[in-house]
Chain A
Amino acid sequence: MSTPMQCKVVGLGAWGPGFNSVDELRQCVEAPLDSDIGASMAPKPAVIPANERRRAPLPVKAAVEVSWQAINQSGLQAQEVACVFGSGLGDTQITDYMCRALTQPEKLLSPTRFHNSVHNAAAGYWTISTGCMKSANSVAGYRETVGLSLLEAVTQCLFDDEPVLVTVFDIAAHDAYASLFPVHHSLAASVLLCPPDYASEQVLGSLSLTMTQRTEPRAQAPGFVERLSENPSAELLYVVAAAAQASAASLNLALSASQDLQLRYEPADA
């Protein structure tokens, strides 16, 4: 057991089926559970210049959109914020394109789509669009992506003593990949973390994280988010929605076959 790691939450972002903002996510969470799940609208992150936005793949646009929401809410400048981008499946649309092209005898690839194929494309577009020269990480944890991305972000926040944006995103599995991964909805979520003593105007609440041995089967995030749970990035939406409602939340996130990240969110002024 390690001691809890604590940091402030100063910004949130959400995009997914039926919601384009944190407020719309809150409405989805508060709607009757048998409501239809809406469609994801194309994200149009204003921070990416229009000509670049046209070339940016969907996962990049989704990740940058929620990141920009979180920065705007926080009042911090993107240039002072390090970032951790996490995705369980990466960009299966580009992977599908490349693998298909490579079955052809001439094996020709588009140079733009090739450089967009890196897992850190979202981190790249984000730092380029915002002029952020801080550390940008890009991680993959398959089913454990949310817990591992948070673990990576919070250790960086506390041990490098700087604000860290954590954004997770997964897009519906594309084409042949849909036969392996039952991910039918596309979504992205952001939480902007600050060290406890970092000066920030906005404080939504505090996040406390502890690594623990799993003792019983791990409970999924309940309610609306549970309906999206095939998506490796969905569970962060639960934390975002709780913070948007100014309510406390507890959740265990998997880190490995036997280890969990025990998460506790407490709203400010509660």
Chain B
Amino acid sequence: MSRQDIVVVDYEATCACGPGVASLREALRERRSGLRQNDFPDSLLETWIGRVDSLESQSWEGDDAAWQSRNNALIAFALAQGRLAERVAELKARYGASRVAVIMGSSTSSIDRSEEAYHHLSEDGALAPAYRQENVLNPHAPGLYVAHLLGLDGPTLTVNTACSSSAKVFASASRWLHAGLVDAVLVGGADTLCHSVLQGFHSLQLVSAQPCRPFDAARDGINLGEGAGFALLQRADEAQAHTGIKVAGYGESSDAYHMSHPHPQGAGARLAIEQALAGAKLHTQDIGYINLHGTASRANDRIEGALVADMFGEQAVASSTKGWMGHTLGAAGILESLVAIEALRSECVPGTMNLEEVDPEVPLALFAENRRLHLEHVMNNSFGFGGNNACLIFSRTATSPEVAL
């Protein structure tokens, strides 16, 4: 049972900043937010959203019709960007389809399609034939669709732990690779905007009518966003080429406190961070940049800010990048991990967009503008409903990367 490094072979990301990781990289560098005033079809909610364009134009002809949903359209669109799908195909050819696993994280799966289906129920209350999609109307839909789309046949799982979902996929994949169950794992996260989350967060009075302002004294709630991110992982000594980035540590914990309020002292989050540091054999001072969960809710930012200041010091280099893409829920874990990885590779550390005056209750020296910094180790925090916490650390590998930015 080996414990060798798990490396990131390649990755992709699509969110409100545009199609593909190249758009995200450019948006981060140029400080271009993807947020817009709510124009989600049939939604009257006064808020800003991080919407991905062109998802409505995905065609679902013939056999594909059985897979139709906005979430699956987002997955297909995201996987059509860059070269990730080619690299998956290479590994599939090298090891066999059953030796490549899929672990997706999602909060909504394809509930967008259920919402639509309920507008078209038959007179006896049954689903209309076009919506009898067994592989879409269940919470495993994202995993099933990715495996179908890429022709993968290894174990395929969907993690649904709300907003920590696609952070936890890195932990599960690391264990599966350590166990030698498979030779590669495609991890990912995908969540689309839908009325369930827009209205659900509205019912909890957590949605802001303005562009979100994480950690700002005047912040008044979150903006919802949609997005999908993927990372292809392998054991280091078997990877023929990779990004030069490894999954150095992961931590997973529970608040044991409340279904929708974080623990007031961030006790669960602290455990996850400590576990990730221990797994990576690193100390707090080794972490060069922390991508915070930073939702712009009053409670999260105050508690997370105080915790990070207490553990890492007030001068910790940290930011929330929700101002670029909104809170992408089940996709946030991986999208923001990729933002942290991009910072590591590009040496461009994103600031906290829309931050004007740091909340005096947050004892962190947060900054709005981007900074140039050489980094060795970066961290990502993801916290979800149910008090579900995950923390990830990514580091440079000893060997030089062969996949360029």
Contact = CB atoms under 8 A, between A and B. Distances in A.
Interface range, A side: 35 or more
Contact of B181 (A2, A120, A121): A2
A95 interface: yes
Main secondary structure of the interface of A (DSSP, over half): mixed
B176 A155 contact: yes
A256 B154 contact: yes
18 contacts: A2-B180, A89-B139, A90-B139, A90-B160, A98-B200, A111-B200, A111-B260, A114-B201, A118-B162, A118-B384, A121-B259, A123-B386, A155-B178, A155-B181, A158-B1, A176-B121, A211-B155, A259-B153
Contact of A151 (B181, B257, B260, B388): B181
A202 interface: no
Contact of B175 (A102, A147, A155): A155
Contacts of B180: 2-3
Interface of A: 2-3, 5, 82, 87-90, 95, 98-103, 107-111, 114-121, 123-125, 127-128, 130-142, 144-145, 147-148, 151-152, 155-156, 158-160, 175-177, 179-181, 211, 213, 255-259
A134 B202 CA distance: 30
Nearest to A102: B195
A213 B98 contact: yes
Given A89-B139, A130-B256, A159-B179, A176 B125 contact: yes
Given A90-B138, A111-B204, A148 B157 contact: yes
Given A2-B180, A132-B254, A99 B115 contact: yes
B346 interface: no
Nearest to B111: A95
Contacts of B126: 176, 179
A114 B386 CA distance: 12
A134 B156 contact: no
Nearest to A261: B155
Contacts of A115: 200, 204, 259-260, 385
B127 A180 contact: yes
A151 B127 contact: no
A119 B161 contact: yes
B179 A155 contact: yes
B107 A156 contact: no
B172 interface: yes
